[in-house]
Amino acid sequence: MEVARFWRENQSRYNMQGKKCGACDIVYFPPRDLCPKCRRESIGKMEKIKLSGKGVVISYTEVHDGLPAFSMQVPYTMAIIELEEGPRITGQIVDVEPGEIKIGTEVESVFRKLGQEGECGVIHYGYKFIPKP
């Protein structure tokens, strides 16, 4: 896969940059150019916003049958997290023991390796989550 496919998303995957609708103040992650609530009203009013990465677990699962890129990590925990600014996001929760995560667990984002292209290819980085210390 071409490197551009990954680096064009880096602002969001590295820095958790989303968008806020200037018309209704709803925050979106990943960034959107159009607010699904305001639609036409939002054109030209979607402003960049950096998110805190703090949130709570809405649901989670321990993945035993994982994707090939994550096969060394099984079982790994995936979760849907509601960030304090409002948007929900899908991410991996790391540095946890099985059973440690519950619905409602507070988490925060960390910067981690997501994967790499083959043995000596480009390494991709982005957010994962850990329980709030």
Judged by beta carbon, residue 48 or residue 88, the one nearer another protein is: 88
Sign of CA dihedral 16, 117, 94, 82: positive
x/- letters, 26..65, toward another protein (CB under 8 A): ----x-----x---------------------xxxxxxxx
Burial of 83 (0-12, 13-18, 19+ CB in 10 A): buried
Q: Is 123 in the site for another protein (CB under 8 A)?
A: no
Nearer CB in complex with another protein: 23/94 = 94
Q: How many residues does the chain have?
A: 133
Strands across the sheet with 27-28, in order? Answer: 27-28, 17-21, 46-50
What does the alpha-carbon distance between residue 102 and residue 40 come to, in Å, rounded to a whole number? Answer: 39
Kindly state whether residue 67 participates in binding another protein, applying the rule CB under 8 A. Answer: yes
Minimum Å gap between C-beta 27 and another protein is 12
Q: Report, in Å, the least distance between residue 22 CB and another protein.
A: 20
Closest by CA to 89, choosing from 70, 109, 103, is: 109
Chain residues binding another protein by CB under 8 A are: 9, 30, 36, 58-71, 73, 75-76, 78-80, 87-92, 103, 114-115, 124, 126, 128
